[in-house]
Structure 1
Amino acid sequence: MENPINDLTSVNAQDGQILSVVGDTYRLVITGEQTNGAYAVIDMLVPPQGGPGPHAHARFQEAFYVLEGEVEVKTKSQTYTARKGSFINIPLGGVVHCFKNKTDTIAHLLCVVVPAGLEDFFKEIGTPVPAGTFLPPPVMSPEDQQRLQGIAEKYGQKVFPPDYLD
């Protein structure tokens, strides 16, 4: 029997908040507010040399599908070049990881987070921007890094120094 309370959710291509986060541009396609916290979907545009530094999140699973371009995904145990059509799964448990676009073209990723919550972190640290806009990555002083770590911890994440996985 169909449940009339649970109806489909549709999102148009121009819908969803767009944020500059660490120099990347993320569109919050669907958030935990719309899925009762079950998951979130984030459309990520990663410019050349862009991508987040090493970080971990033990309480949620993160998966990426590469729509265009490529990114290098790195953990302590492996480095993987994810190209168009590749799928990357970051399991529950807090594996430290990062990804970086080492090419000269924009990488386009679709990110799914289960359960939702990562998008709230992005809302707090990001800057709203128009579609297609890229801001330079912020220069992080030690105080800025400490502030970011505090915000990350609020959302169940941990941020590591840029050279942590080298």
Structure 2
Amino acid sequence: MPELRPAADFLDDAHAILRRERARLDELLAQPHELLLVGGSSVPGALTKGDVDLHLRVAAPDFRPVVAALTDVYEVVLPEIWQDTLATFAVEAPLPTGVAVTPAGSEHDLRFTRTWERLAADPALVEAYNDIKLRHRDDPGEYERHKSAFFDSLL
């Protein structure tokens, strides 16, 4: 795993990427949408490798048309994890950046919104998150397993 650093080191750049992508999506999408900064880089006390995670929320009926539109501007990533309520893309940006698209109110939407909101509001949860990252930084499979269980506990 790359070196972990405090998210505060990346927060200004992450917010600049968020603003740029909001402007891009406002021009591209006719459908109502909301683009959020989530992930480790969104929580100042969290440890991160410096990647930026964006979450695009759309109304359920707009999910498929929005995903189709995004395939023209973003690179599809991890198509094997795509589901009826999740699509993922890479965003060309100064930091490694991805965007996950979900219908508002779906299971994936709640996972992205609630977990990061709860984590950002509770320093003890940030400490627990950082501990998982530190303990399993050399074993990505174990890290993902423990992180997933931790996030499940936040729902």
TM-score in terms of structure 2 length:
0.32
* Highest RCO, 1 vs 2 (Cα 8 Å, sep ≥ 6): 1
* Higher strand proportion: 1
TM-score in terms of structure 1 length:
0.31
